[in-house]
Amino acid sequence: MVAEQITEHGLVDDPHLRRGARGYPLLPGGYGRSTYYTGRPSPYAVRGEGYRVWDDRGREHIDANNNFTSLIHGNAHPEIVEAAVRALSAGASWGIPNLDEWELAEQLMTRLPSLDQVRFTNSGTEAVMAAIRIARGSTGRDRVLVTDGGYHGTSDVALVPGGPSYTRGVPRGVIDDVTPIPLNDVSALHAAVEAAPAAYAAIILDLLPNRAGLLHITDEFVHSARELASRHGIVLIIDEVISLRLGYHGISGEYGIEPDLLTTGKTIGGGFPVGAVAGRGELMAEVDPTKPNSLPHGGTFSGNPVSMAAGAAALRLYPESEVLRLNALGEIVRSSVSARIAGTGWTVRGQGSLIRAVPEGVNKVDDATQHRLWWESYERGLLGSPANLLSLSTPMDKAVAVDLADRLADAVIAVSDKQD
């Protein structure tokens, strides 16, 4: 492991770090995005193929990070590469519509039969921003109800459920228009909405909140949200940026819930930047430019043919049989890890192809613990996200799942020993 050394202007033992004339690393902290951070200088990815990634330290890993769950078909899937290269060679992106937008729209909307239309964005963050704008525009109301620990990206509104440590730099007015309530607290949900039903534009739910340790959201909570939203003319937004992979009809389908708007991203771009807001026709009419006074929706790269073509290929390669197969592999991982880590004070949570080990009874895991588990996993050739969210990809089979589970269990055991 690399020893950590921090100077006035940032980490110095990263061999790739480049400094500007005034001594600062060109990337703040030495990172191109803060979400890479694992407590010490990071390895660099060199190459990926299928479920494996190689890094610049000469190590081979099972890639269960999958760029934060987005690579549902692993690295460089030949059919996705072919689709992306075909779009790229034809010009990459244009300022008039392209046919691949229709193709991805069709692939996605067949999976969401209760919704009618979709608009593409460049990220999940933008999709959630658009959904909230549509909800506010259509209701004429401002307030948004969220759950503690729900993650909806990095817009001002989306940072509020993270609590005070996330809202530095977010204007007071934005914070005041967002009401966070505790997860699974049906009475708090009723109390918040019924105190001012005509104030709420939207209820937005993340049904597998990673920031809350993948805590399971109860059916009662989800269906109460649906019922309250319908009763009071509030738009129910289900944020499926991560969770769409969990069911052929997304996690909403697994809960038997019909959202008014659904946001997604990650897997539907085949590894390229993407987001989407899908919704009922009456609501999506808000962004219909043929109607007077419609809401703005743009984005230079929204709907770009490379993301669209790669995404359509990714969805074609993920029929219901593959959803079920990956979910079953997730069960194998969870049960095998559970058996091996019994007595360590850790547990394994998740649903379908998303897996996370957390200390028992803890929903918000501290950074130091997360980083320890990340590095113990890394040492065993297993890459997760810095929060140790693991996702499976279709190149994996049962043997890989068992191997992955062994590496994860070994890492958890190592971390728990160190905590003694």
Task: Point out the residues that are catalytic.
Answer: 151, 239, 266
Among the candidate windows 54-62, 133-141, 149-157, 187-195, which touches ligand PMP by CB under 6 A? 149-157
Residue of 178, 193, 228, 241 interacting with ligand PMP (CB under 6 A):
241
Nearer to ligand PMP, 136 or 407 (CB): 136
Residue of 38, 131, 141, 151 interacting with ligand PMP (CB under 6 A):
151
Residue of 38, 65, 98, 123 interacting with ligand PMP (CB under 6 A):
123
Helix (H) or strand (E) holding 350: strand 346-351
Sequence-separated (6 or more) residues with CB below 8 Å from residue 175: 160, 167
239 binds ligand PMP (CB under 6 A): yes
With H, G, I as helix, E, B as strand and everything else as coil, classify residue 292. coil
Least CB distance from residue 412 to ligand PMP, whole Å? Answer: 23
153 binds ligand PMP (CB under 6 A): yes
Phi, then psi, of 17 in degrees rounded to 5: -65, 130
Measured in whole angstroms, the distance separating CA 277 from the mean position of its chain's CA atoms is 14
Among the candidate windows 83-91, 121-129, 181-189, 306-314, which touches ligand PMP by CB under 6 A? 121-129
356 binds ligand PMP (CB under 6 A): no
206 binds ligand PMP (CB under 6 A): yes
Owner of token pair 């987005």: 70
With H, G, I as helix, E, B as strand and everything else as coil, classify residue 279. strand
Sequence-separated (6 or more) residues with CB below 8 Å from residue 73: 80, 270, 314, 317, 318, 393, 394, 395
Sign of CA dihedral 97, 98, 102, 108: negative
Among the candidate windows 148-156, 176-184, 276-284, 341-349, which touches ligand PMP by CB under 6 A? 148-156
Nearer to ligand PMP, 152 or 249 (CB): 152
125 binds ligand PMP (CB under 6 A): yes
Q: How far apart are CA 17 and CA 19, in angstroms?
A: 7
Q: How far apart are CA 150 and CA 178, in angstroms?
A: 13
- Interactions with ligand PMP, residue window 35-94 (CB under 6 A): 68
124 binds ligand PMP (CB under 6 A): yes
305 binds ligand PMP (CB under 6 A): no
Q: How far apart are CA 402 and CA 404, in angstroms?
A: 5
Dihedral Cα 34, 39, 44, 48, nearest 10 deg: -80
Structure tokens at 211: 């920031």
Nearer to ligand PMP, 204 or 309 (CB): 204
- For binding to ligand PMP (CB under 6 A), which residues are involved? 68, 123-125, 128, 151-153, 206, 239, 241-242, 265, 275
